[in-house]
Amino acid sequence: MPRKLRPWLLSAPALLLVLLFLGLPVLSTLATAFGDPKGPLAQYATFFNSRFRMTVLWRTMEVALITTAVSVVVGFITAWVVAQAPARMKSLLIIAAVFPLLTGVVVRSFAWLVILGKNGILNDFLLWIGVISEPLTMLYTKGSVIVAMIYLFVPLMILTLVGVLEGIPQDLTDAAASLGATPAATFRQVILPMAVPGLIVGSVLVFTGSFTSYATPQLLGGERQMMMGTFLYQRAMVTFDWVGASTIAAVMVVVTLTTVAVMSGLARKLNPVAG
Amino acid sequence: MQTRTHPLLVAFSVLVFFFLLSPLVIIVGSALSDTSYLTFPPQGLTLHWFQNIFEISAFRRTMITSFTLAVGGTALSMLIGIPAAYALARYRVEVPRFMGNVFVLPILIPEIVLGFSLMKSLATGMGLPITLSLLVGHALLVLPYCVRVVGASLNNFDFSIEEAAVSLGCTRTKAFFVAVLPNIQAGIIAGFILAFITSLNDVSVSIFLTGPGVSTLPIQLLAHMEQFFDPTIASVSVLLMFVTVAVMAIVERTLGLTFLTK
């Protein structure tokens, strides 16, 4: 076959799969809302004027932002310690972070049902040490969703940052120290700027992941803490309002793609190597 | 090296790893409990709940579906993903930028939106049978893993070896099988196994595509949890953790687990 055509022929099956079975169906979902007889933006007007829908959107934003912020701080510190650890210890710690990451989201959310339930381990423990006199309601609160989400995404942040932090040459931090920089100054002026690309990648993964999650808010938040993912499912499969569900889907896609675009723009601007 | 890390940071990280691992220990413990409700630490020890998994036909059935789907979806995805990854690596200069980006789309589009859209277009619109819709959905879901992990191996491959095979008289196709494929074997195995576990654990796409009679294990687990709260769920979770351990062992032996930090 002619050389020019070769890459196209080789990738044609995969390209077709993505374009036909992902591109077209998703575009048709996005187009659904615009096809409303009351006008192309009528569905969006309904969405953004509905107090209930906006509550769900803001709740999802809030949960995703808190999850991202906590994961960044916790993940950064832990990744730093992992990156500094001696080789043997380091591989053990990486195993300890990969294991939860590769364990399914249903299993990991289920663990928090067992921990946070009315007769759960945490309530048992608190009753036993006498801090509380009757079990607390922890499930189906925003807090329970956030805790489980942080649990879900911290390993991802650790693994994203370990590689980046390992890549910072020790010569650089040594040089900073020998030139009189305090550890805090070294962190601010050397380590942090070099970790920015990793922090951005990690934050995008965690934010979009938690913003679009389904299983965790379903199990730990229930109807009371409806989030965009569970809301989409409920509209599509319980009330069979496909137009409404498509609008929710469109909002989710816009938020996700905007986040990715803004953050990768930021990454290009802040990249110490390219700059 | 160790001296550079402040003891407070080390103590904090110890707590983080405790936070990451203790919920999984709790699941293992409650799977062994001799009670009809979930509790930890286990009261009495029994393997009864593991036996119970295989007695509940819904678990048996969905387990088979999930494994078949994960192997089938990944195999399909590899079959079309390897040539694509090869094209991207081998013809890096000629191939337009957007082609690589197309294969990132399944990650970029929220899974739940993909699931909903597939349900509308494939299952309802085209009337595809449930199993076929699931297969397409899972193949799409894992395609980025296949293309990227195999692609990472191909980027380390020296294509002059392939050229040598061709100049020694191999056809292009034969050169691929004797010179390229054996050298990217580790990437293919690691990519396969990572894609497999992603498919096995998937909820967001499957939840829209499962239907009467056909379900996957995670979806069955979700449904079971809403009705019963007994240690059977914990024991299924433990079985799934064994699968995770096997997956990690294979990744460690092929590309090494540190691959996941890159």
State the total domains in chain A: 1
Domain assignment present for residue A123? The answer is: yes
Q: What does A28-78 look like in DSSP terms, one character per residue?
A: HHHHHHHT-TT-TTHHHHHHHH-HHHHHHHHHHHHHHHHHHHHHHHHHHHH
Tell me which CATH code domain B57-261 carries.
Answer: 1.10.3720.10
Torsion (CA) B99, B102, B107, B109 in degrees, nearest 10: 150
Domain assignment present for residue A230? The answer is: yes
**Is A202 in contact with A157 (CB distance < 8 Å)?**
yes
What are the residues whose beta carbons fall under 8 Å from the beta carbon of A240, sequence distance 6 or more?
Answer: none
Q: What sign results for the dihedral spanned by CA atoms A208, A214, A220, A225?
A: positive
**Is B211 in contact with B123 (CB distance < 8 Å)?**
yes
Contacts of A208 in chain B (CB under 8 A): 110
From B54's Cα to the closest Cα of chain A, the distance in A is: 18
Contacts of A113 in chain B (CB under 8 A): 225, 229
Q: In this predicted structure, what is the pLDDT of residue B193?
A: 95
* Residue found under tokens 């048992």: A124
Smallest CA-to-CA distance from A47 within A213, A247, A200 is with A247
Instruction: Say if the Cβ atoms of B27 and A110 lie within 8 Å.
Output: yes
Domain assignment present for residue A264? The answer is: yes
pLDDT digits (tens, 9 = 90+) for A35-71: 777 878 888 888 999 999 999 999 999 999 999 999 9
ipTM summary value? 0.93
Contacts of A73 in chain B (CB under 8 A): none
Domain, as residue range, for A169: 41-270
Confidence bin at A4 (pLDDT 50/70/90)? confident
Taking 70 as the threshold, does the pLDDT of residue A163 lie above it? Answer: yes
Contacts of B27 in chain A (CB under 8 A): 107, 110-111, 114
Q: In this predicted structure, what is the pLDDT of residue B1?
A: 42
Partner residue facing A25 (CB), from B118, B204, B229: B118
* Residue found under tokens 């936070």: B19
Mean pLDDT by 10 residues, chain B (262 residues): 73 96 93 81 82 86 96 97 94 85 91 96 88 96 95 92 92 92 94 96 95 90 86 92 94 86 78
Contacts of B10 in chain A (CB under 8 A): 81
From A203's Cα to the closest Cα of chain B, the distance in A is: 14
**Is B106 in contact with B145 (CB distance < 8 Å)?**
no
What percentage of chain A reaches a pLDDT higher than 90?
A: 68
Domain harbouring A185, CATH code: 1.10.3720.10
Partner residue facing A10 (CB), from B9, B19, B86: B86
From B145's Cα to the closest Cα of chain A, the distance in A is: 13
Taking 70 as the threshold, does the pLDDT of residue A274 lie above it? Answer: no
At B138, list the tokens.
């899972």
How far apart (Å, rounded) are the C-alpha atoms in residues B147 and B145? Answer: 6
Neighbours of A257 (CB within 10 A): 14
From B82's Cα to the closest Cα of chain A, the distance in A is: 9
Confidence bin at A25 (pLDDT 50/70/90)? very high
Q: In this predicted structure, what is the pLDDT of residue B62?
A: 94
Determine which of A19, A71, A78 to mutate to test the interface with B (most B C-beta atoms within 10 Å): A78
In this prediction, residues A153-182 reach a mean pLDDT of 91
Domain assignment present for residue A30? The answer is: no
Q: Which residue has the higher pLDDT, A155 or B37?
A: A155
Contacts of B229 in chain A (CB under 8 A): 113
In this prediction, residues A113-130 reach a mean pLDDT of 90
The continuous run of DSSP H or E covering A147 comes out as helix A142-166
Domain spans in chain B, listed from the N-terminal domain onward: 57-261
In this prediction, residues A107-125 reach a mean pLDDT of 91
From A100's Cα to the closest Cα of chain B, the distance in A is: 7
Contacts of A85 in chain B (CB under 8 A): 1-2
In this prediction, residues A155-180 reach a mean pLDDT of 91
Taking CA–CA distances from B19, the nearest residue in chain A reads A151
Taking 60 as the threshold, does the pLDDT of residue A110 lie above it? Answer: yes
Instruction: Say if the Cβ atoms of A81 and B116 lie within 8 Å.
Output: no
From B51's Cα to the closest Cα of chain A, the distance in A is: 19
Taking CA–CA distances from A7, the nearest residue in chain B reads B87
Task: Point out the least confidently predicted range of A117-121, A164-168, B70-74, B200-204.
Answer: A117-121
Instruction: Say if the Cβ atoms of B113 and A84 lie within 8 Å.
Output: no
Instruction: Say if the Cβ atoms of A96 and B20 lie within 8 Å.
Output: yes
Instruction: Say if the Cβ atoms of B245 and A99 lie within 8 Å.
Output: yes
Contacts of A183 in chain B (CB under 8 A): 6
Determine which of A81, A128, A170 to mutate to test the interface with B (most B C-beta atoms within 10 Å): A81
Peptide bond before residue A193 is cis, with ω within 30 degrees of 0: no
CA B149 to chain centroid, in Å, comes to 12
Taking 70 as the threshold, does the pLDDT of residue A1 lie above it? Answer: no
Q: In this predicted structure, what is the pLDDT of residue B4?
A: 64
Contacts of B250 in chain A (CB under 8 A): none
